[in-house]
Chain A
């Protein structure tokens, strides 16, 4: 008989984000591609409204995501941010934003099935750019290859097998991606493009995380993929596993992994699972990764064009988070107070937020004000408001503040002040699972380590009804707190 082993306290050691400016791929987004198929003239309107690389790099919300500025700094930055953003750096403490040329090179590097063709001259330029990248290896550069003549791309695009062209923002065609099967819609060129982009953006975030924390990639035990992309073929749509592909691409030779699906709340579910695996001693070092959501590029482009603003949904984001056993320093993940939107919870916002915020706080004997910052849906309002979708984060913060008022912790007149003090301005690209709470995690870790924060709460919601199997949504929340005894 073995002695019972005590549960270990899980902590979140680090978080990193990899942003890729992808204006040339905006026409491949789901909404733009459908509209272009219906009216070819739409493509020219879209291409004319795409931002140059420097504008995407400098864009203050992107600078927040890579850690170069704090989210709260956006409160006082005049809107529109696409006009008021000061010059920014490509790299920040939480990650980087890369130009599209590097992204295309990474797509080729991550492609093990010769799906991606790059034109020779472009491949040479991409190789030069990536060879200087600190996270790109020599074998990566070799995998990029020498490219092919333009005539070979012409030939592939002419058929008979289906393929899609790849363009830069300028309109220059630099390559193609082929379908892996002539009839299987789950292996169509655009589906594979989405999945490959998800793989390489997540892998770059994971590489950045491990390099930044000084961790040997071989020491990662388990990788959990938390993104929304459906990897599989016609016999098992979405049944595949992107996590292990990301682990391989990031050099995590000692890891296996699995995908956890939950639409936008996949990452917070995955963090709860990662923490549980660490607590139980099944694995010691678990990475939670999420690749980009290419289908959402240009999702609200019509509103942006109507407002005469650039199309701001032009950036892909991958993320990586690392969960380990207590090291005495890293912020703790509270497994004893996971908020859950169960089947029985009604669908009103009040009921959902009671389940995800009030109930876990009550179980710990805490008040709403005891949480310094709540991270919820963090979509950048500059992307959503032009299409009439409103300021999604502030909708959510008003409900949390409203519950604090109902609990008589604050006066009703203090709802806006509470929402601002304990909430955040939206700064995330509309990248599905990426935008739900997780973008604040790296800032939260900084603040919980520095003493700026004592407790933070991460709340994510998933639109299960989109799959037409239930009318329900889902949600899950988790508290991350400073690593000291008085945090209990």
Chain B
């Protein structure tokens, strides 16, 4: 689904963390070029 696409994964600690987004994106064929999780508290 994301084959050939580049993905920037921005996550939130208490929501969906970047690692989880990146894992899904890679599984869908994307190249993850940046993954970063933020904490808003």
Tally of contacts, chain A with chain B, CB under 8 A: 57
Interface assignment of A21: CB less than 8 Å from any CB of chain B: no
Is B13 close to A, CB under 8 A?
A: yes
Are A473 and B17 in contact (CB-based, < 8 A)? yes
Are B20 and A348 touching (Cβ within 8 A)?
Answer: yes
Q: Are B14 and A377 in contact (CB under 8 A)?
A: yes
Q: Which of B17, B18, B36, B41 contacts A377 (CB 8 A)?
A: B41
Whether A346 lies near B23 (C-beta < 8 A) is yes
Q: In chain B, what residue has the closest Cβ to A388?
A: B40
Q: Is B1 an interface residue (CB 8 A)?
A: no
What residues on A are CB-neighbors of B18 within 8 Å?
Answer: 347, 471
A461 CA / B15 CA spacing, docked (Å): 12
Cβ contact within 8 Å between A347 and B41: no
CB-CB < 8 A to A392: which residues of B? 14, 40-41
Contact B14 A347 (CB under 8 A): no
Q: Which of B15, B17, B35, B36 has the largest count of A CB atoms less than 10 A from its CB?
A: B17
B25 shortest CB reach to chain A, Å: 13
In the docked arrangement, what's the CA distance between A300 and B37, Å?
A: 18
Q: Which residues of chain B have C-beta atoms less than 8 A from A264's C-beta?
A: 41
Is B39 located at the chain interface by the 8 A CB criterion? yes
Question: In the complex, how many angstroms separate the beta carbon of B17 from the nearest chain A beta carbon?
Answer: 4
Contact B23 A471 (CB under 8 A): no
Instruction: Please determine whether A471 and B19 come into contact, CB atoms closer than 8 angstroms.
Output: yes
| B37 contacts A396, C-beta separation under 8 Å | no
Contact call B41/A346, Cβ cutoff below 8 A: no
Contact yes or no, B39 A466, CB < 8 A: yes
Cβ < 8 Å to B, chain A residues 388-416: 389-390, 392, 395-396
Contact with B along A446-488 (1 / 0, CB 8 A): 0000000000000001010110000111000000000000000
A421 to B17, CA, bound (A): 27
CB of A379 within 8 A of chain B?
yes
Hey, which chain A residues are within 8 Å of B37, CB to CB? 347, 463, 465, 471, 473
Structural contact, A463 and B23, CB atoms closer than 8 A: no
Contact B35 A463 (CB under 8 A): no
23 inter-chain pairs at a CB distance below 8 angstroms, sorted by A residue, are A264-B41, A346-B19, A346-B20, A347-B11, A347-B20, A348-B17, A349-B17, A379-B41, A384-B40, A387-B40, A389-B41, A390-B14, A390-B40, A392-B14, A395-B14, A395-B15, A461-B14, A465-B13, A465-B37, A471-B37, A472-B19, A473-B17, A473-B37
Measuring CB to CB, which residues of chain B are less than 8 angstroms from any residue of chain A?
Answer: 11, 13-20, 23, 35-37, 39-41
**Considering the complex of A and B, which 8 residue pairs feature the smallest CB-CB distances, nearest first?**
A347-B19, A463-B39, A389-B40, A347-B17, A348-B20, A347-B20, A379-B41, A465-B37
